[in-house]
Chains A and B, each alone.
Chain A
């Protein structure tokens, strides 16, 4: 079965600092991997996705993630945090051919001025 692990529940960074949100996956077959963002009182919005093309994936709002098969990781990064990045971030995994998208437990990002 597919699963993702997001260790910890909260990350706090200063405005302008590097953002690094970790995600490790478990999948018996090559997975599709996703990062979603949820702003307060809103639904989830896709940031980026990996679907077995380039291992470095660029998303919206300056975010990117790198698929590393040897580490079973898909960490999300942004070089310089902005106040508007404060939100909940979810990593998710899907097996090719399956309709089921499984989410990690989420990570709350706080950006301090």
Chain B
């Protein structure tokens, strides 16, 4: 059983399009995250939700909108995609001690 699963694994799209990435965790964790990893492998936190409430919102463009329908799901919608949005997006969930469990990533390529 996959602990943190993201779909799709790969996305290729044109500039200006809108796309969504879905994430689900079956670990029973209360906190979930979205991280962005750029081409140099740098990992930057974007958002975090605790029990469906937004608790971390880094300086991310408004085109990025997370949604948490319940504590096991955290989806990411991106409007008006730009070239600079190309990256690998990782979903994660965490225990009380801060240990993060990551999904396998969704590689977004904007042409």
Contacting pair B43 A106 (CB below 8 A): yes
List the one stretch of B12-20, B73-81, B90-98 in contact with chain A: B90-98
* B105 → chain A closest CB, angstroms: 6
Contact size range, B:
20 to 34
Complex Cα gap A34–B100 (Å):
10
Q: Is A51's beta carbon under 8 Å from chain B?
A: yes
Contacting pair B50 A99 (CB below 8 A): yes
Which residues of chain A are within 8 angstroms of B101 by Cβ–Cβ distance?
Answer: 46
- Contact status of A43 and B4, CB under 8 A, knowing A49-B99, A99-B55, A100-B48: yes
* B74 → chain A closest CB, angstroms: 13
Contacting pair A44 B99 (CB below 8 A): no
Contacting pair B99 A46 (CB below 8 A): yes
Cross-interface CB contact of A42 among B31, B40, B94, B105, cutoff 8 Å: B105
Contacting pair B98 A105 (CB below 8 A): no
Interface string of B26-62 (1 = CB under 8 A from A): 0000010100000011110100101000011000000
Question: Other than the known A101-B98, A103-B43, what 15 A-B pairs have Cβ atoms closer than 8 Å?
Answer: A32-B98, A43-B4, A43-B90, A44-B43, A44-B90, A44-B100, A44-B102, A46-B101, A49-B99, A99-B31, A99-B48, A99-B50, A99-B98, A103-B42, A105-B42
Q: Interface of A with B (CB < 8 Å)?
A: 32, 34, 36, 38, 41-46, 49, 51, 88, 90, 94, 99-103, 105-106, 108
Across the A-B interface, give the 7 residue pairs with the lowest CB-CB distance, nearest first: A43-B102, A103-B43, A94-B98, A44-B102, A106-B41, A43-B104, A99-B48
Q: Interface of B with A (CB < 8 Å)?
A: 4, 31, 33, 40-43, 45, 48, 50, 55-56, 90, 92, 94, 97-105
